[in-house]
Structure 1
Amino acid sequence: MLFAQLLDRTGTGMWAASSVLFFVFVIGLDAGRLGLLLGAAAVAGIAGSPLAGHLAGRFPVRSLLIACHLLRLATLGSLLFVTRFDVLLPVVAVTYLGDRAAKTLEMLFATRVAGERRATYQALSRSSANAGYALGAGLAAIGLAVGTHEAYQALILANALSFLAAAALVRRTREPRGRGLVTARTADPAAAAAAGATAPATSAVPALPPGRPGPWRDRGYLRFALLDIAMNLDDSILAVGLPLWLVDHTDAPHTLVPAFLVINTVLVVVLQLRVSAKVEEPRQAAAAVVLYGLTMLACCTLLAGTAGAGAWAASIVLLTAAVLATAAELMRSVSSWELAVSLAPEEARASYLGVAGMAQSIQKSAGPLLLTGVVMTAGPAGWLTLGAAVAVLSTVQRRTAVRRLDAMAAPSPCGAASPSGSLAVSIRDLPGSGR
């Protein structure tokens, strides 16, 4: 499964590094149509996570993940022939939708298979993903250096074939027999025992017990998912904020921009497992959220201080800010996933995680607009305000998570689980063997 993710992310890295230039120089899109294309794709990507969660409650996760890989194989392959904008728009939108759905399904699959090694699996997943992105970007650089129409087509074909290889590897990954992502218990255990059952019966198709709210009516979980949008802003700061701030507001050399990606990739690959080892249960994940906020505050404060600094001073501060943003990402990558799983009722985990996955998609759409349209327009004060806001929201997120964990762990008057639908789910609560 991890090797399948490596191949997937290698192809995605090639596409991410070359797609804009492909649309401009090969397809011939102007800036307006390119913005419309990418905006529509981002909106479609937001729908990918809840759609994947909804379908995962009804169909095998592995089959859905294979379908997502094959869907992207078809849409990316079609870019070799599509030139009309009205056809290109839905093709790229479906590609982004499949991409976000695949990432959510990978998380669901890991929740099912990894069991008590969930945090370790997430760390390995993050490391392999970053290695894949770096490898893909390197391969894209070769194609972009050639710069011919055929070179761009070769990059697209290689990306499409990576999805085919990933689908083949996922197909070979075995799912544990009898271990569903969600389990629907019979409402009357005594009746099951009378029928000769020795344990709570399970249905073939996971279902939410009658009377239990789904994620869209669960205000506590929606509050967590909404706050989690702000807990993903490190991504936009690394990809958009740092490069644009360097170019427009500092005297640092433009050649420093690639160093941000190198720092991020190397630190994630080297440190992700160590950071994940510190977060072994939900309350530790909740505490890590506060550390995320404080780290982001420090990062934004440094960026505010680069205005007016000399080239050398600005370079050092920007590189330090990249390190802090990566440290925030390391904490977010383990705390966000762990809390998304732990705060979801076990009986409906697939649909809940689909909703939680929207936070990252929304941030990818709104984060760059927030940075370019508000934060950087306001200058240093904008960075200070952003950092303070994330720090405050991280504290609110921690309180929200701890309060929900307490409610989930509290027994009901009849001695059963709390009304939230399950006991608190720690990393060791899921049976397992081992994105």
Structure 2
Amino acid sequence: MGLITQLRNPPGGRDARIMLFAQALDRTGTGLWAASSVLYLTFVAQLSAQRIGVLLGVAGVVGIAGSPLAGRLAQHLPVRALLIGCHLLRLVTLLLMLLCTRFEVLLAVVALTSLGDRAAKTLEMLFATRVAGERRGTYQALFRSVANAGYGVGAGLAAIGLAVATQGAYRALILGDALSFVLAAALVQRTREPADPGPRRPGSPPAGRTVSPWRDRGYLLFVLLDIPMNIDDSILNVGLPLWLVDRTRAPHALVPAFLIVNTVLVVLLQLRVSARTEGPYRAARAVLRYGALLPACCVAVALATRGGTWPAAALLLAAALLVTLAELMRSVSSWELAVSLAPPEARAAYLGVAGMSQSIQKSAGPPLLTGVVMTAGPAGWLALGAVAAGLSVVQYGRCVRRMRTPLPAVPRPRTPAPPENAPMPPAS
């Protein structure tokens, strides 16, 4: 009941409710794409596994630029119009994908789709920050709940098309993804442009002067540390399934259970976790909890190689539970801190830079796990857990220090002194 009640009256009112519905539709299309894209490229576009790998890898790298580009544009253009543009861009690229099968064209098309996808996520984040205000943590929790539900619905619909396994069915799934962009854009059109941030912080640059996140070393270090702390995503989607298949005796049918556990827990617990970590200082403490949960997950994964079928299955399910709890902590803390540590007058540009951390992790995380961690065996997982714990302590310390330190005062331009023989102003 809590989730339903919050969805009926979310932070931000009507516009937030419409945006949440639009995001649910968008993620439903994402679920369709995620479940069917590789098969579409294989059986319809007739691409080899190597070319598909190159195509998706390049798309991931290009997508990294989407977040800072969106943030930069949002400093000068309406967020609402930019978000509609991102939805329409992805609509056009998916339609082009249905018409073209040449590798060179598909490479550009999928790369542009990825660029629009990452830009849209940053703009949604900025929209929420402006609409929900101080209750942005609650909005983020609602968003993650509806996004996971939408993703699950999309994956379920894709399963129907994949069971048919014809070229027409694969094309229909791509069209379903394109339709989600049309509906999402139509819903965003019904919202109002969110207001700019409130009062400026003491020490902020005067009006007309811009603040660049690329020159803010403290914020860039926060983003740099946030990149490896997004590794929970790759652990869930890549690490656990491959470890189960290659190194344990657990049944292969357990792999879908990892995503089921993740989806159900996010929907059930995200609001509660958000309520307990609202505000920058609570979010910083959630970073420490993340630093305890992720190493515990890594220990469970490492121990799964020592047991038989059912002990290994139990340990891997426990790992899925722990990594999901870590994800809940990280998703709340990362977003709240990215907003809190950014100057209000340049928040769009700062959030664009912060949004790069997920994109970079999605490109670098899977190779790191398969090429380094898993190659080293159980010791690799234990080392990964130790690194995560250390990074969480460093991130916590730096964030608290930055929140307690006021922005440096901006020197005001000096007014030239009048010449010695200048006439005195008349007395009033």
TM-score normalised over the length of structure 2: 0.89
The reply to whether residue 111 of structure 1 matches residue 109 of structure 2 is no
Give the conservation status (yes or no) of the 8 Å contact 2:74–2:82: yes
Query: 1:180 is matched with which residue: 174, 196, 200?
Result: 196
The reply to whether residue 228 of structure 1 matches residue 223 of structure 2 is no
Task: Give how far 1:308 is off.
Answer: 3.0
Task: Tell me, in whole angstroms, the C-alpha distance in 1 between the residues paired with 2:203 and 2:251.
Answer: 66
Task: Give how far 1:208 is off.
Answer: 7.8
Q: Aligned runs of 1:214-225 on 2, under 5 Å?
A: 214-225=212-223
What's the counterpart of residue 349 of structure 2?
A: 351
What's the counterpart of residue 304 of structure 2?
A: 306
**Taking structure 1 as reference, are residues 152 and 401 closer, same or farther at Cα in structure 2, changes over 3 Å only?**
same
3-state DSSP class of the match of 1:27?
Answer: coil
Task: Tell me, in whole angstroms, the C-alpha distance in 2 between the residues paired with 1:90 and 1:393.
Answer: 36
Question: Post-superposition, which runs of at least 4 consecutive aligned residues in structure 1 deviate over 3 A?
Answer: 181-188, 207-213, 417-421
What's the counterpart of residue 246 of structure 1?
A: 244
The aligned amino acid for 1:180 is D
Q: Aligned runs of 1:206-217 on 2, under 5 Å?
A: 209=207, 213-217=211-215
Task: Give how far 1:116 is off.
Answer: 2.1
Unaligned runs of 5+ in 2: 1-18, 412-428
**Taking structure 1 as reference, are residues 388 and 209 closer, same or farther at Cα in structure 2, changes over 3 Å only?**
farther
**Taking structure 1 as reference, are residues 75 and 120 closer, same or farther at Cα in structure 2, changes over 3 Å only?**
same
3-state DSSP class of the match of 1:273?
Answer: helix
The aligned amino acid for 1:339 is L
Query: 1:404 is matched with which residue: 402, 405, 428?
Result: 402
Deviations along 1:70-119, one digit per CA (max 9) or x if unpaired, are 00011011111110001110000000010000000000000011112211
Task: Tell me, in whole angstroms, the C-alpha distance in 1 between the residues paired with 2:94 and 2:201.
Answer: 42
3-state DSSP class of the match of 2:250?
Answer: coil
The reply to whether residue 13 of structure 1 matches residue 31 of structure 2 is yes
Query: 2:91 is matched with which residue: 73, 85, 89?
Result: 73
3-state DSSP class of the match of 1:19?
Answer: helix
Deviations along 1:144-167, one digit per CA (max 9) or x if unpaired, are 000000000000001001000000
Unaligned runs of 5+ in 1: 189-206, 409-416, 422-435
Task: Give how far 1:247 is off.
Answer: 0.3
Task: Tell me, in whole angstroms, the C-alpha distance in 2 between the residues paired with 1:157 and 1:233.
Answer: 31
Task: Give how far 1:181 is off.
Answer: 4.2
What's the counterpart of residue 266 of structure 2?
A: 268
Deviations along 1:306-362, one digit per CA (max 9) or x if unpaired, are 113101000000001000000011111110000000000111000000000000000
Give the conservation status (yes or no) of the 8 Å contact 1:57–1:182: no
Calculate the aligned-residue CA RMSD, in Å.
1.9
Task: Tell me, in whole angstroms, the C-alpha distance in 2 between the residues paired with 1:41 and 1:175.
Answer: 30
The aligned amino acid for 2:321 is V
The aligned amino acid for 2:53 is G
Between structure 1 and structure 2, the one with the greater Rg is: 2
Give the conservation status (yes or no) of the 8 Å contact 1:282–1:342: yes
Task: Give how far 1:128 is off.
Answer: 0.4
**Taking structure 1 as reference, are residues 182 and 366 closer, same or farther at Cα in structure 2, changes over 3 Å only?**
farther
The count of aligned residue pairs is 393
The aligned amino acid for 2:23 is Q
Give the conservation status (yes or no) of the 8 Å contact 2:29–2:176: yes
Task: Tell me, in whole angstroms, the C-alpha distance in 2 between the residues paired with 1:185 and 1:147.
Answer: 57
Task: Give how far 1:212 is off.
Answer: 5.9
3-state DSSP class of the match of 1:80?
Answer: helix
Task: Tell me, in whole angstroms, the C-alpha distance in 1 between the residues paired with 2:374 and 2:410.
Answer: 42
The aligned amino acid for 1:25 is F
Task: Give how far 1:184 is off.
Answer: 7.8
What's the counterpart of residue 374 of structure 2?
A: 376
Identity %: 69
Task: Tell me, in whole angstroms, the C-alpha distance in 2 between the residues paired with 1:185 and 1:274.
Answer: 30
The aligned amino acid for 1:365 is S
The aligned amino acid for 1:145 is A
Task: Tell me, in whole angstroms, the C-alpha distance in 1 between the residues paired with 2:268 and 2:206.
Answer: 40
The reply to whether residue 34 of structure 1 matches residue 52 of structure 2 is yes
TM-score normalised over the length of structure 1: 0.87
3-state DSSP class of the match of 1:102?
Answer: helix
Task: Tell me, in whole angstroms, the C-alpha distance in 2 between the residues paired with 1:2 and 1:111.
Answer: 13
Give the conservation status (yes or no) of the 8 Å contact 1:182–1:348: no
Give the conservation status (yes or no) of the 8 Å contact 1:181–1:350: no
Task: Give how far 1:12 is off.
Answer: 0.6
What's the counterpart of residue 414 of structure 1?
A: none
Deviations along 1:104-149, one digit per CA (max 9) or x if unpaired, are 0000000011112211100000000000110000000000000000
Give the conservation status (yes or no) of the 8 Å contact 1:184–1:209: no
What's the counterpart of residue 421 of structure 2?
A: none
Task: Tell me, in whole angstroms, the C-alpha distance in 2 between the residues paired with 1:11 and 1:210.
Answer: 40
Task: Tell me, in whole angstroms, the C-alpha distance in 2 between the residues paired with 1:211 and 1:67.
Answer: 28
3-state DSSP class of the match of 2:374?
Answer: helix
What's the counterpart of residue 324 of structure 2?
A: 326
Query: 1:152 is matched with which residue: 164, 170, 194?
Result: 170
Task: Tell me, in whole angstroms, the C-alpha distance in 2 between the residues paired with 1:132 and 1:365.
Answer: 24
Q: Aligned runs of 1:121-200 on 2, under 5 Å?
A: 121-176=139-194, 179-181=195-197
